[in-house]
Amino acid sequence: AQCQPMEDSMNSLQISGLITSPPLRILTPALNVWKCMIKDLANEWAPDDVPWWHTERTLVGLLASSVWRCGGLAIEEYATEKKVRKPKAIKKSWQGDLWFQIKNRSFLAEAKKRYWSLDGKINGRSKRIKVGLRMARKDVVRTRRYDKSETRLGIYFWVPWRLKSKGDVTDGQIRAWVGELHKIKNAAVVWTFPRVARQVKDKDQSNGKWYYYPGVVMLMKQPRL
């Protein structure tokens, strides 16, 4: 079945969803396509693999593909310059994570990816999200804009995990996570936790333990300038 474009309301706590604030509403179609691509790939690859096990480059690449599928333009790992604060403020050659254009509006973005436990304290989750998103936003501020009309975006991929020994991942745990996403203001937020991925597990070679990684969240927000 094809994934149909939709945007979830701010009050819903769905297992798969999308929220966009007015400044980034133009991205809604591409973000919905990204969400659907992630879900479709998980359904196809499970139980051996899921897209969010890989680096942020993989997830950024799928976002670029989503932009193209919506009639936009996108380029990854493009040559640019970045300001380096230490040892002194200089510019150095850099590889930008993503530049894209939708309906004549251009964006440049830098991305970060982090893993967090599903079993951590709920009160600390939104703070951790904001810290990770702030890192990406600071990074993109230092990346050169070739046109003043380009919109800078920080992108933060958030992947939850749970020790297999603690039991299966439940809808309640995921909804508690999703509830924290609604606290991020003036951002675009996309998440998907396909049911087929709930039992996909991976072994950490450093400690020999098995972990579940049930889904992925992508957050986008403009930096303060």
Q: Model confidence over 77-116: pLDDT tens digits?
A: 988 887 776 656 666 667 889 999 999 999 999 999 998 8
Cα end-to-end distance, the chain, whole Å: 43
Nearest by Cα to 135 from 111, 151, 170: 111
> What percent of the chain has a predicted confidence (pLDDT) above 90?
51
> Is it the case that residue 121 has pLDDT exceeding 50?
yes
For residues 201-223, give the mean pLDDT: 93
Please state the three-class secondary structure of the chain as a single string: CCCCCCCCCCCCCCCEEEEECHHHHHHHHHHHHHHHHHHHHHHHHCCCCCHHHCCHHHHHHHHHHHHHHCCCEEEEEEEEEEEECCCCCEEEEEEEEEEEEECCEEEEEEEEEEEEECCCCHHHHHHHHHHHHHHHHHHHHCECCCCCCCEEEEEEEEEEEEEHHHCCCCHHHHHHHHHHHCCCCCCEEEEECCHHHCCCEEECCCCCCEEECCCEEEEEECCCC
Q: 78 to each of 39, 124, 135, 208, how far by Cα in Å? A: 27, 35, 20, 38
pLDDT confidence of residue 38: 95
Q: Which of 4-13, 130-139, 150-159, 168-177 has the lowest mean pLDDT?
A: 4-13
User: Whole-model pTM above 0.85?
Assistant: yes
Beta-carbon contacts of residue 111 (< 8 Å; ≥ 6 apart): 56, 59, 60, 97, 98, 136, 154, 155, 156, 157
> Is it the case that residue 8 has pLDDT exceeding 50?
no
Residue labelled with tokens 């996403």 = 181
Higher per-residue confidence, 83 vs 172: 172
> Is it the case that residue 126 has pLDDT exceeding 80?
no
pLDDT confidence of residue 6: 41
Q: Which of 7-16, 144-153, 197-206 has the lowest mean pLDDT?
A: 7-16
pLDDT confidence of residue 10: 34
Alpha-carbon distance of 123 to 97, in angstroms, equals: 31
pLDDT confidence of residue 193: 93
pLDDT confidence of residue 117: 86
Alpha-carbon distance of 53 to 197, in angstroms, equals: 11
- In total, the chain counts a number of residues equal to 225
Q: 61 to each of 38, 45, 149, 155, how far by Cα in Å? A: 11, 17, 23, 13
For residues 13-23, give the mean pLDDT: 84
> Is it the case that residue 1 has pLDDT exceeding 50?
no
Could you read off the pLDDT of 33-69 as tens digits, one per residue? 999 999 999 999 988 899 999 989 999 999 999 999 9
- For residue 99 the two structure tokens come to 């530049």
Alpha-carbon distance of 195 to 39, in angstroms, equals: 9
State the average pLDDT for the chain: 86
> Is it the case that residue 166 has pLDDT exceeding 70?
yes
